[in-house]
Amino acid sequence: MLNKFLSLIFPTACIRCRRIAKHGFLCTECKEEYEKELSDGCLSCGNPHAKCRCDSKYLDNEKLIYAIPYRSDGVSRELLLKMKTSNNKALVSHLADKMASALKENGIEEDVLITYVPRSPTKIRLEGVDQAKILAYALAEKMKLDIENVFICRGGVKEQKSLEYGERDIYARTRFSLRLGAEEKIKGKRVVLVDDIITSGATVKVCSEILTEFGAEDVICLGAGRSVKY
Ligand SMILES: [Zn+2]
Ligand SMILES: [Zn+2]
């Protein structure tokens, strides 16, 4: 009630175009465009996004699931980029819903442990949010799944997109390690590793290898979005 009243006095701006957002975080036009991006499915294989297994340079494709596209010039991309700098509750809840549906569409509903790819402390200080963590907690709550913070992320603010594929792999390897005591938490578990945007897959691959090395039985990488090369 109070929220409804406040939204009349202070209408929310559309995340993408700043017009009045009549649908949570999007205006009518952007929402229509976004829904089309979702219903189009993957432009490369034609599958719904949750079922797309388009080639990844690093990952075994069976282990990669993502919820929404990361369409260049699209609304989906704007939503995912917004997640990197803000903790917009409606957006977090929406993306977590999409991630939960993507898992369910792949038959994953229970007996899994959620964890996530953390951001480095430097980057959190600069941007203000740890976006994969926020998404992972929202997802775990929605699906009533256990969640553990198992990784330590070192390193600075180097943007992976400035690196070549081989370099990404090496860079990712130097950044992540398992937290003290985390081994007990992952041993024998099927783990869902959450990230916000999966690009080459270099980061999730490194984290996935660490999890397996320390006893996880299986690791599924779940991105809110994925940039597939069309
Ligand atoms: Zn808009
Ligand atoms: Zn595809």
**Domain extents for the chain?**
1-40, 44-226
Q: Mean per-residue pLDDT for 142-158?
A: 87
Average pLDDT of every residue of the chain: 89
Q: Which ligand is nearest to the CA of 75?
A: 1
Q: Which ligand is nearest to the CA of 23?
A: 1
Q: Which ligand is nearest to the CA of 14?
A: 1
Q: Which ligand is nearest to the CA of 41?
A: 2
Let me know: does 190 contact 217? Beta carbons within 8 Å: yes
Instruction: Please give the CATH topology (third level) of the domain spanning 44-226.
Output: Rossmann fold (3.40.50)
165-213: pLDDT as tens digits = 566 666 677 889 999 999 999 999 999 999 999 988 889 999 999 999 9
Which residues, at least 6 apart from 126, have a Cβ–Cβ distance to it below 8 Å?
A: 157
Ligand 1 mean position, distance from CA 72 (Å): 16
Indicate whether 19 pLDDT > 60. Answer: yes
Q: Which ligand is nearest to the CA of 82?
A: 1
Helix (H, G, I), strand (E, B) or coil at 17: coil
Rounded distance, CA 52 to CA 38, Å?
12
What are the φ/ψ torsions at residue 196 (nearest 5 degrees)? -80, -60
Ligand 2 mean position, distance from CA 45 (Å): 4
Ligand 2 mean position, distance from CA 220 (Å): 17
Rounded distance, CA 194 to CA 211, Å?
13
Rounded distance, CA 128 to CA 60, Å?
32
Helix (H, G, I), strand (E, B) or coil at 153: strand
pLDDT given for residue 99 in this prediction: 98
65-80: pLDDT as tens digits = 999 999 988 999 999 9
**pLDDT classification of 148: cutoffs 50, 70, 90:** very high
pLDDT given for residue 56 in this prediction: 75
Ligand 1 mean position, distance from CA 84 (Å): 19
What are the φ/ψ torsions at residue 85 (nearest 5 degrees)? -125, -5
- With residue 173 as reference, give the H or E element that holds it: helix 165-175
Ligand 1 mean position, distance from CA 45 (Å): 28
Q: Mean per-residue pLDDT for 29-56?
A: 92
Q: Which ligand is nearest to the CA of 29?
A: 1
Ligand 1 mean position, distance from CA 15 (Å): 7
88-100: pLDDT as tens digits = 999 999 999 999 9
Ligand 2 mean position, distance from CA 99 (Å): 17
pLDDT given for residue 128 in this prediction: 92
Rounded distance, CA 121 to CA 130, Å?
9
Has this prediction a pTM greater than 0.75? Answer: yes
Q: Which ligand is nearest to the CA of 56?
A: 2
pLDDT given for residue 223 in this prediction: 96
DSSP-based helix, strand, coil % in the chain, nearest 5: 45, 15, 35
DSSP letter string, 97-165: HHHHHHHHHTT--SS-EEEE-PPPHHHHHHHS--HHHHHHHHHHHHHT-EE---EEE------GGGS-H
Indicate whether 6 pLDDT > 60. Answer: no
Ligand 2 mean position, distance from CA 130 (Å): 28
Q: Could you tell me where the beta strands, DSSP code E, fall in 124-202?
A: 146-147, 151-153, 176-178, 190-198
Amino acid making up residue 189: K
